[in-house]
Amino acid sequence: RKEVEQDPGPFNVPEGATVAFNCTYSNSASQSFFWYRQDCRKEPKLLMSVYSSGNEDGRFTAQLNRASQYISLLIRDSKLSDSATYLCVVNGDTGGFKTIFGAGTRLFVKA
């Protein structure tokens, strides 16, 4: 099992749709969680951190479920500009503090 696994993509949704991505992690000692966004031929950029209490930033909501070891990202009212690859990132603490990126989920938002 991979240490960080994401929904396979791509997700193709119309503008205005709500879309959700899930990401599971295997290390129960993980302490920090993030979602990054990567546009085509660009570097990944931090989208938001994920806190135990859940957090929201405009149309984006991130949640963490420690018991089930998954994090989620919900995008409401999708825009064309949301088209990108979304990467789940987990910081673990087994055998040394380590950051692991998921393979990413590709999102296409269409008019």
Partner 1 sequence: DARVTQTPRHKVTEMGQEVTMRCQPILGHNTVFWYRQTMMQGLELLAYFRNRAPLDDSGMPKDRFSAEMPDATLATLKIQPSEPRDSAVYFCASGLDVDRMNYGYTFGSGTRLTVV
Kindly list the residues in this chain that would bind partner 1 in the complex (CB under 8 A): 31-32, 34, 42-46, 49, 87, 91, 93, 96-101, 103-104
Looking at the Cβ atoms of 11 and 34, the one nearer to partner 1 is: 34
Residue 40 Cα distances to 10, 17, 24, 49, angstroms:
14, 22, 24, 22
Q: Whole-number minimum distance, CB 46 to partner 1, in Å? A: 4
Q: How far apart are CA 51 and CA 74, in angstroms?
A: 14
Q: How far apart are CA 111 and CA 109, in angstroms?
A: 7
Partners of 35 in beta bridges: 48, 88
Looking at the Cβ atoms of 21 and 34, the one nearer to partner 1 is: 34
Q: Whole-number minimum distance, CB 80 to partner 1, in Å? A: 23
Looking at the Cβ atoms of 61 and 78, the one nearer to partner 1 is: 61
